[in-house]
Amino acid sequence: MQPIKLTIAGEYWDSQIYQGILYLFTRDGAIKTVNWDPLVDGLSTGQSLRLAASCAFQRSDYLYNSNFQMIFSDADVKNVIQKKFVALHDCKLHIDQKTLAKKFERKSQDTPFPFPHADSLMYGRSMYVVGQSGLWQADCNKRNVYPVSRKPGRIWDAPVLAVSGNYGSLALSAGREGLWEVDLGWSEYRQPKKAKNISKRPCIDCEWLYYSIFASSYDDSGYLASFSNELEHVKKNSEDDDDIDDLHSSVGQGPRKRIFEGEIDSSQIFKKLGHYSWGVKDKVYSGGNKKISVSSYNPWDKYGNAIQQVGTYELEHAGSIVSAGVASFGVVIEYDDAIVVLPSKGKAVMLRGEPVNWRVFPKSLHYQNHLHVIYGDHIAIYSFNHDYFVDQKNKIYGSRPETNELYRPRIPQTRQNIQL
């Protein structure tokens, strides 16, 4: 099943989508906020494709929800839904700048952050931006005149390349200065604490593997900053939130303290040296020489086998990896001349051309099937919908999907184990 593509004309630098608002950073230093749901509702898809359009662009959680699995697992129902996704793929979905400004744009404002930035994040109803001047935060409130506060605060003043949020903290990639973390202090009147160095090893990108952090690096292929935590994965607190907040338990027991246990080198995880590695949630990947190695991660494994090798697979595309990410629908790899998506089912999808920027939303509840790719004169928003019908326990490419349900992964004990 091919991804569904929606293009929006314009010259953009970055994008975020959160709680029904699409944030578009323009290359002239502005932020356009777009009312996303009306935009999707206004697409010329016809009433017969309304459900498919909603699942594709507005509510990726609909078909993942176990309450509907009995319905959607029915062969006849499944066939109808898949046909609707195919029909939606054949529609030309495009928004020009005039239509965007007239019908769907909520506000255009000068960015309150230093521009251009290196990375951005929406987390806990705030926007975080990082770059040469450090880490910045601004409140985002739909009821305010300016959707992004014009009075941001600087949390840290050291250069940062990438930021990722989870468990009430921000992981920060500081290049040669290593991997850092900032506790946002949500349990203490939302006052962020001082940045804490986790590792002095180089780090150009970072993502959360549950309550641990994986640091990617060109220098030594990457490493896992392993933490222990008594808190189990929890239910989402509110239907209005788009990100999954793991700070508090579903039974009101309050936060748990994460304890740093040490670094696990990529070479220990994959039994080889030198390849660029990355991961998120329950998967870690290492790619190079037209091969990709896969390991699964389960910190709750009762036998103490947190990491298990899954296997090594052939890649059709060759070249040096520029960056990579993981979403529920598969693995995204950026090369010099293309972005390649390795879906959880089906053939690789190649998006040719060098992008300005791209991102996925693996911890989002509503938009986890999105891939945003920015090119010179437009942003392409791809929706991958094959993963709704994939066996989530045994898929090779892609992380486990976000749902409103309690989750504790189970990994078969038949694979080779790596004991932490």
On the 0-12 / 13-18 / 19+ scale of CB atoms within 10 A, 113 is buried
pLDDT score recorded for residue 419: 39
pLDDT score recorded for residue 212: 97
Q: What is the pLDDT along the chain (420 residues), one digit of tens a residue?
A: 899 999 999 999 999 999 999 999 999 999 999 999 999 999 988 888 998 999 999 999 888 877 766 676 778 888 888 999 999 999 999 999 999 999 999 999 999 999 999 999 999 999 999 999 999 999 998 788 899 999 999 999 999 999 999 999 999 999 999 999 999 988 655 678 899 999 999 999 999 999 999 999 998 889 999 999 864 444 444 555 666 554 444 334 455 688 999 999 999 999 877 689 999 999 999 998 889 999 999 998 877 789 999 999 999 888 889 999 999 999 999 999 999 999 999 999 999 999 999 999 999 999 999 999 999 999 999 999 999 888 888 999 999 998 765 444 443 333 344 433
C-beta neighbour count of 367 within 10 angstroms: 25
Q: How far, in Å, CA of 11 to CA of 181, rounded?
A: 33
Q: Where do the domains of the chain lie, and which CATH numbers do they carry?
A: 4-418 (2.130.10.10)
Q: Which residues pair with 327 in a beta bridge?
A: 330
Would you put residue 395 in left (φ > 0), alpha (ψ -120 to 50) or beta?
beta
pLDDT score recorded for residue 188: 59
Compute CA distances 352 → 167, 203, 336, whole Å.
36, 27, 10
| pTM across the whole model | 0.90
Q: Which two tokens stand for residue 42?
A: 């206004």
